[in-house]
C-alpha cells in the first residue's frame, strides 16, 4: 500500500464509532496509502453518508446498544447500496457476534486495534476498485486538456 490512493467522489472509507480509537489505529495502518479516513459517531450518520458516496467502505463499531440496528442496516445494504461494503469492529467481549455479523454481510470482523492490517488491506482494495464517476465524452476530453489546469491556477 505504498502508492497514493486517488480519491473518488463515489466512495469513502468511513469509520463509525463512539470514541475515535479505531479510526486513529486505521489511519496509522493506512498512513502510507494516502487514503483519507472519514469519521462519524452515529450509525444514522454513517448510513446517511452513503447517499453522498454510495460505494463507500464502512467500518462500524458493534456494541450491545447498536447490535439490532446495525444488523438490520447491514442486511439491507446489498439492495440499497450494492457497491458499498461493511466491516465490523468490536471489543473482545463481543467476539461471539462475529459469525452473526458475517452472516449479515460483514466482509471482515476485528476485535483488536492491533489486528487492523488485514482490514486496512481490504478497505484499500475496495477503494481502489471504486469506479470513477461517469463522465460524458466532452467532460473526459475537457479534463484531459493541459490548459484547464493552467486556467484554474490563473483564476486564483
Q: Would you say 97 and 62 are in contact if contact means Cβ atoms under 8 Å apart?
A: yes
List the pLDDT tens digit at each of the 156 positions of the chain.
Answer: 444 554 567 899 999 999 999 999 999 999 999 899 999 999 999 999 999 999 999 999 999 999 999 999 999 999 999 999 999 999 999 999 999 999 999 999 999 999 999 999 999 999 999 877 777 888 778 878 887 555 555 555
Distance from C-alpha of 26 to C-alpha of 21, rounded to nearest angstrom: 9
Q: Which residues contact 34 (CB under 8 A, 6 or more apart)?
A: 3, 4, 5
Q: Would you say 57 and 14 are in contact if contact means Cβ atoms under 8 Å apart?
A: yes
Q: What pTM was estimated for this model as a whole?
A: 0.82
Grid cell, residue 130, equals 471504486
Q: Which phi and psi (to 5°) does residue 39 adopt?
A: -125, 145
In the chain the domains, ranked by start, together with CATH numbers, are 13-154 (3.40.50.2300)
Given this model, what pLDDT does residue 133 score?
A: 74
DSSP per-residue letters across 125-151: HHHHHSPPPP--HHHHHHHH-HHHHHH
Given this model, what pLDDT does residue 154 score?
A: 53
* DSSP conformation class of 81: -
Given this model, what pLDDT does residue 1 score?
A: 47
SS3 117: helix
Amino acid at each position: 500500500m505504498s502508492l497514493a490512493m486517488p480519491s473518488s467522489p463515489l466512495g469513502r472509507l468511513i469509520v463509525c464509532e463512539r470514541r475515535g480509537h479505531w479510526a486513529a489505529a486505521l489511519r496509522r495502518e493506512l498512513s502510507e496509502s494516502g487514503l483519507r479516513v472519514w469519521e462519524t459517531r452515529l450509525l444514522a450518520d454513517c448510513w446517511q453518508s452513503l447517499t453522498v458516496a454510495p460505494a463507500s467502505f464502512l467500518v462500524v463499531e458493534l456494541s450491545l446498544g447498536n447490535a439490532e440496528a446495525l444488523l438490520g442496516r447491514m442486511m439491507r445494504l446489498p439492495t440499497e447500496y450494492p457497491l458499498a461494503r461493511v466491516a465490523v469492529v468490536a471489543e473482545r467481549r463481543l467476539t461471539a457476534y462475529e459469525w452473526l455479523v458475517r452472516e449479515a454481510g460483514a466482509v471482515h470482523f476485528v476485535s483488536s486495534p492491533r489486528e487492523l492490517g488485514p482490514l486496512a488491506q481490504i478497505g484499500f482494495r475496495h477503494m481502489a476498485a471504486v469506479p470513477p464517476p461517469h463522465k460524458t465524452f466532452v467532460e473526459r476530453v475537457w479534463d484531459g486538456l493541459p490548459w484547464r489546469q493552467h486556467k484554474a491556477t490563473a483564476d486564483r
